[in-house]
Structure 1
């Protein structure tokens, strides 16, 4: 007799949604996730988080190391009553001995969510194509959407008096990283003025800017891409990121000599932004390179609030993406299976 799949999400495939980029979501949908984040953060402070991931698990694929991504997803799943599995390249045959399609289908039969932190966007997109459970992009070569949900929430927590998210001017100072691109897309979707300030060689490519301009048509936001560091003046938020990353080690010296000292976030730069400006960084930070330790530890910094909000974001995402597939058994169903299994075990 052919048995049906036990994959929870396969039963609700028409409603399946992945989280590969914030561009796949409307502004209202992202606002809903932010509101859910707020409720989960309050519930966690009260030690009263509802077990909305109970009986579920998230498979965490890591091609790149991470402190915040691994800890936040694993902790989020645990707090919500579920589990998490860490899968490194040594543990699975991702795209090598086993195709992406087979990996996606196998993990879908055993887990309820797949999170992948990968070298190439094609990998996480390939998993999403063949998976029958939600796939979350934990970082790829040009996007970092889970970080950006934490960033938006942190901005919301530290809004200047009298301002809404759409009133903010956000300056990303430095290289065109995956955080830079994802922030550009999310900020322009919310109607903010987003500035990428960096040397011309390392500015956001035209493809990113075109996506942002399409967002602006709907949101009335604004985009500025410039090498003029004076553009930080009057900005509500200054954001920094690494000047070089994995795979760019050969460019390290050239990059550092190009970015430093002009694009290093200092106390003087924060003062130019304004006394109410805040400083953000996704971490890990190379202090004294892209920013100074004084800024990281100073009154403008909210980097550790931002880091904590990675956990807040993952809790919301795990529940937001799976709540429609939750199938709560009745007391009668629970009793039936319990009695049946215990009766069998008593005879063996």
Structure 2
């Protein structure tokens, strides 16, 4: 997209033909341009900065298992600069959760996202903390989440990132720092043996397959909700 015509022009064509636009892309800036140029709802199905649809599925999964989201401690371990980390910060803060993200010093979340998440948390009773030590982030956690270290468009950084994330692999030893009742989430696809071990991914605390199923349900619900709002 945007190779022959601008995103704005594409948006104006699409909103004459469809009821809503669901776009999985790379640049967040393109999504913003699409939304600003379209008269129909635009859903961010994934960008380099945020993954909101995935977070809806994750929050649904947490509620199914733990009940209320308010006050629950969620620790994200891995690339704290990626779209999942940013989304946990904002969505978790909105839900009144205590969000902890842990990653190497070079892979910390965007400062503006952290600032915004803390502003939200101040109104919901949540909290936001950033760590470079995964063990500190995991103490008394109710939910432990991770994601692939090598995201889309980063294959040329694979060797560098594997070295940088030494100590951040979610294995049984790290997971044991969290509450015994803690649940494990991973948005998939998983690089088994890198960011998460087989033992944890397939273990009794893992809800990754429920989490994957719930993407279907929340995205259907989101489209219905947006369609109803458009008719109102």
Q: TM-score range by the shorter chain?
A: over 0.9
Give the alignment partner of residue 129 of structure 1, picking from 36, 60, 83: 36
Conserved in 2, the CA contact under 8 Å of 1:266 and 1:292?
A: yes
Aligned counterparts of 1:229 and 1:127: Cα–Cα separation in 2: 37
Name the SS of the counterpart of 1:125 in structure 2: helix
Match of 2:76 in 1: 172
Match of 2:129 in 1: 224
What are the superposed Cα offsets for residues 53-83 of structure 1, whole Å, 9 maximum, x if unpaired? xxxxxxxxxxxxxxxxxxxxxxxxxxxxxxx
Q: Which runs of 4+ in 1 moved over 4 A?
A: none
What are the superposed Cα offsets for residues 101-138 of structure 1, whole Å, 9 maximum, x if unpaired? 22111111111110111110111111111111110001
Conserved in 1, the CA contact under 8 Å of 2:86 and 2:110?
A: no
Match of 1:247 in 2: 153
Q: How far is the alpha carbon of 1:270 from its aligned partner?
A: 1.7
Name the SS of the counterpart of 2:15 in structure 1: helix
The unaligned stretches of length 5 or more in structure 1 are 1-93, 328-348
Conserved in 1, the CA contact under 8 Å of 2:71 and 2:125?
A: no
- The aligned length equals 230
RMSD, matched Cα: 1.4
| 1:88-127 → structure 2 map (5 Å cutoff) | 94-127=1-34
Conserved in 1, the CA contact under 8 Å of 2:98 and 2:127?
A: yes
What are the superposed Cα offsets for residues 23-65 of structure 1, whole Å, 9 maximum, x if unpaired? xxxxxxxxxxxxxxxxxxxxxxxxxxxxxxxxxxxxxxxxxxx
| TM value normalised by structure 1 | 0.64
Q: How far is the alpha carbon of 1:287 from its aligned partner?
A: 0.8
Match of 1:193 in 2: 98
| TM value normalised by structure 2 | 0.95
What are the superposed Cα offsets for residues 276-327 of structure 1, whole Å, 9 maximum, x if unpaired? 0000000000010000011111000000000000001111111000114459
Match of 1:343 in 2: none
Match of 1:307 in 2: 212
What are the superposed Cα offsets for residues 318-347 of structure 1, whole Å, 9 maximum, x if unpaired? 1000114459xxxxxxxxxxxxxxxxxxxx
Name the SS of the counterpart of 1:207 in structure 2: helix
Aligned: 1:234 with 2:140: yes
Higher Rg: 1
Aligned counterparts of 2:105 and 2:227: Cα–Cα separation in 1: 42
Match of 1:215 in 2: 120
